[in-house]
Amino acid sequence: MDKTEAQKILSEHLARFASYSELVPLVESGYVENSEIRSPSGTNYQVEIQFFWDDKPRGIIRVFGSIDAGGIRALFPLTQALLISPPQTVTT
């Protein structure tokens, strides 16, 4: 597995999940996104994205992604995470 290629693919997948309002239903439903990607180099990668409340419900959302190319790497995937904060509200 080409680690640089795998990290780039995973970063691209995680970048799609930046809207807090769109993530809330994914966290609440326990949704897990699984996909198989064939890279330009011809390697097949398994990508999994999970969504969690980081500390408390309706707080920060942790978007956790992992990628592997099967074989032994499936036991030790590369991972990345994003923290998405709720929008700030202004009170007057």
Does a structural domain hold residue 73?
yes
> pTM for this structure?
0.87
Does a structural domain hold residue 92?
no
Q: How many CA atoms lie within 13 A of 11 on its CB side?
A: 6
* Structural domain span for residue 51: 3-84
Residue pLDDT, tens place only, 52-66: 999 899 999 999 999
Q: What domain count does the chain have?
A: 1
46 contacts: CB under 8 Å, gap ≥ 6: 34, 35, 36, 67, 68, 69, 70, 74, 77
What is d(CA 31, CA 49) in angstroms, rounded to the nearest whole number?
9
Does a structural domain hold residue 12?
yes
Residue pLDDT, tens place only, 68-83: 999 887 899 999 999 9
